[in-house]
Each structure stands twice: as structure tokens, then as C-alpha cells.
Structure 1
Amino acid sequence: MPGANHSTVTQFILIGFSAFPHLQLMLFLLLLLMYLFTLLGNLLIMATVWSERGLHTPMYLLLCALSVSEILYTVAIIPRMLADLLSTRRSIAFLACASQMFFSFTFGFTHSFLLTVMGYDRYVAICHPLRYSVLMSPRVCTCLLGCSWAGGSVIGMVVTTVIFHLSFCGPSEIHHFACHVPPLLKLACGDDVLVVSLGVGLVCIMALLGCLLLILLSYAFIVAAILKISSPEGRNKAFSTCASHLTVVVVHYGFASVIYLKPKGPQSPEGETLMGITYTVLTPFLSPIIFSLRNKELKVAIKKTFFSKLYPEKNVMT
């Protein structure tokens, strides 16, 4: 990374879980189960959409892309975190730390952009149903997906390059379980640390708030369109197509606000670690559950595709 030659630190020590020495085994088992469930849940969604032709629509293509971003985001952080829970040596090389930050920012912000595109998809489906095939054509959908991944990659590259262009003069202990920006900035030295801190914070907050505002704008039009539907059945059906996405948005931005919009002031290392777990582990864990339970069409497809094969006798009887 640029600036690596300016640094006297060649590796960092991740001490995020050292505050919980007697809970590390329990945390390892709990986080491992949640991680495996996250992987299996997202893979189940992807396999269901792939195997069911009725789900080959932009809505479920975007859902598959969202599952991919979640899997890659968790892979970038959680395996290393689980290994550190069982290890007494929690060192991470300078380049490995930079790589982890790049991939976590890339896939994390790609996730936010994809949620925004999914909000636009629901807006078009409900407010402009007759033009849906044109406004969400395969070409448009592919372009939106490409822009989401490109946007996440640009933010990841910019933030990582700026952070690791700083000089790190020691100490090398990161009070977190991952290469997170705030604890890393506390280890940097030089006159431009404050400028970098403000710049990185501004980029992250502006990107998240921009996505959130676009989603809120989409739902403002969606709610207005739903209220014009005369029949209660029609209103319920229209809103049910948005329920899972809206729930995931609330969870995603609720936990993201804890990380990026928390009040300034002294924070205990234990508090930083626990807040980091909520966004890194809990949000990806909840997402496939919400989509599987709140999306009726997907839930039916999962039962048809997999449970009918696991329990063929029961399926025949029903």
C-alpha cells in the first residue's frame, strides 16, 4: 500500500477480545454458529433463486447479489476473528490489515448500494408497473448491479489508501477485533491525521446517508401509491412485497448508525468490541432470516425446492 515505507510498524496486534478472557470459548462457539448460519442462509437463498424459474426476476437477482455481498463481507472479517478467539497470538501483518479493511469497506458499501437499488426496484414495480419491464430491463439491472459493486470498490480503495498512507509510529495494538478505522487512526502519527479522520468519516456518512435518503424517497412514493389502492387486499399484497426489504434496511442502518453516528467521547474497548459485533455478525445473520420469513414467494419456493426433497412422503400426503 502507498506509504507503507513511511511506517515503523510492520504488524498490528488485535486485542478486541482480550477484555473477555473467560468468555472467549463461548463467544467462539456462538459466533461460529451464527457465521455458519449466515453462510447457509445466503447460499440457500441463492440456490432457490437459481433453481426456480419463477424467481428469475430483477427483484430476486438483486437479492442474490445482496447475498453474495453479505457472504464476502463476512468472509473478509469473521474467519480471522474466530481464529483470534482461539489464539494467544493475534498479530496481523500490515498488508493483511490493509487488505481486510479494503474488502470489508468494499462489500459493506456494496451492500448499502444494493439495498438502495432494491428500493428503486420496489418503487418501479408498485408506482410504474406497466413500465417495469422497460425501467428494470436486464440491461438496466446489470448496469445498476455493476454500479453498486464499482461504487463499493471505489470507496474501499479510497478509504484504505488514505488510511494506510499515514505513518504508524507505534504502539501497534488495535483495540478492536478487526482493522477498523477509528482504532487504527489512534495509532497514526503526523499532522494530517485529523484531516484524514474527518475526510474518511465524511465519505462514509455521506455515502450511507445518501443511500438512506434515496431509500426513504422511494418508500415515500411507494406509500403514496399504496394508499391510492382501494381494496385492502391489494394494499396488503403491495406492501408485502416491500416488507422484507424494509425490515432489512431498518436493521442495516440501525446498526450502521451505532458504528458511524455514535456520539464523540471516550469509548471503552469493551463497548467498541460489542458494537462492532452487532454490525459485523448480527446484521448478516438476521438478513437471510428476514428475507426467508417475510418474503412469502421466496418462502414457498424454499419449501418447494428443498423441503419437498427432504420429506417426499410428507409432500405426497399434502
Structure 2
Amino acid sequence: MSRATLRDRWVSVDYGMFIRAEQQFPETSSSAVYGRRIHPATLVLAHLIRHPRRIATSFAAAVFYGMRYFVDGEQLEFLTPKGTRRSACPPHVILYPTRYIERHRAAASPVLDDRPDLLRTDPRTTLSRMLRRVSVPDATRDRCWQVPDLSTVRPGFTREFLRCVQVSDAFHQALGATVVGSPAALGLPGGVDATDAARVLGYTDVGAESPPETVLRLAVGDLAPGLHSQVPVFRDDGTLLTTSDLAWEDRGLHLFYDGVHHLRRAQRDHDSRVLAVLQRDGGRVLRVTAGDLRDVRAVAALRRRVAVALG
């Protein structure tokens, strides 16, 4: 194969490893901290095939636990034996040499059933290392993974803390968890601080279905007790009509985060039916958009709306 053909038709995913150009994503994710158009699972597999003694961890492991959010944008981390040169790797890869490599290997599991030699860290290590990465201030991450700094309206709710809770919510959702794990289990070498882990898990909601819903919950959750996620709304015949993103059921107030799909005609018609059912039963609906969570000023205005609705 000529160099021109290789350049025009193939894309490098690791040193000496390529995929066809048409297998790339059509565009880079708007939330990608490290812009890529290649599926993260492909990048992780390519690196593990080339270096089978390394272990995928953090976001590199999370993609194989089914985590949909953030894995396409963050750097992909691998545990390696002590003495490994960190500089000898592609730009999307970060290496973490550790003397505990064999301990991690004993707790690890295969990323694929038919490749038992290619490993990912156990869930607690994976989450702990993800939280450690996003808890560090990063100007590039601030530009690409945008969340408001809410520390002036909710002390301690910095951008980094909100991202940590978003990651925890998304990972618990991917695992199908019904309860939040133990903070003590995350206090691992190279992982998040145990005190920080406890605070993040204290605000984690295993029912959260999207990162904007997480920010919405954190933005208004202190205004009244009893806020719950994924609250079912039923028709008169007892069948499920929809699920509120968040609701104070005892107060009849339901919050819905409206993404871009709510602009479609069919979705708008459905939203109207939901509104009619809830209002008929004495409920109230507040619809929230990305603009309401854009910055602390917008969030402060949203909090006033919610406070008025709560009475």
C-alpha cells in the first residue's frame, strides 16, 4: 500500500494500527475535551492489543462498562508496570505506572469475552480514577465540557465538583446500579481522595439519565426536601404516559429538561399531552433548557422560578 493511499483512506488509531477513514464519526463531539472522531472502544482495543500487559482504567475502562457520556472526549488512561516511559504513547493515551499493577490485574476483568488477555480495572477503581481526573481544574475542559460554577449559590459546587457528580451519575447508570456504592471503596492508591469521594457519592443519583439532568438536580435540589428523579406520570387507564426528569411529588411540581429533540413536532405534541394530564390533576410543570443552566446568573433566575412554583 502506498503512503498516499494510507494517508487518504486510513486513519491511525495507535502506532502501526489503522482504521478506514469512513469508520470515523462524522464530526467531533461538542463536549469532547480532547477532540476525536474515533470511537473510544476502538482506541482502547488498539492500545491493549499493542500492549496487552497494560490495563485500561478510568474513562478507557468505563466505555467497556457501557458508559455513554464523556468517554469520547477524555484522555484514555492505562495502568502500566513501574518504569514504563510515559512519553512513548499517542496523544489520546495517558499512562500511569504503578507498583500495584499485579493487584489491579487480579481484580480486573476482560474487556471482551473472546479476549481474556485484554483487561479493564474493576468498577470501583474505574470510578475512583475518573473522579480523580475530572476533579483537577483544567482550562481545556472548562472550554469543552461546560458546566456552571454554582459555588456562589451553593457553596462548594464548583465546576469540578459538578463534573464529578455527572461522572458518578453516568457510571452508576451504566452499571445498572440501584444504590450508590461505598465511599470507602473508592479510597485507592492513585484514585480520588476518600473525603471527596464521600461528598460526590452523597450527591449521586443512580436514576439520573443525562448530564444536564444532573446539573439541574444540583442547581435546585436544596430548595425543598423530597426532590426525586424519574417520577412516573400515568394516564387515566393506568398506563405510563411519561417520566418526569425531576419532581417534588408531594408538591405536584414536575421539572423537565428539554433537549433539542423537544423542537420536533411529534415531541411537542407529546409534551402538550403531558402538560394537560399533569395540570388536570393539579400538577405544575417547569420546562428547563440549556440556557437556564448556562451560567450562575441563569441558574439564579431558574432557582427563583422554582422557588415561586414551590410556593
TM-score relative to the length of structure 1: 0.20
- Structure having the larger proportion of residues in strand: 2
More helix per residue: 1
TM-score using structure 2 length: 0.21
Higher relative contact order (CA 8 A, sep 6+): 1
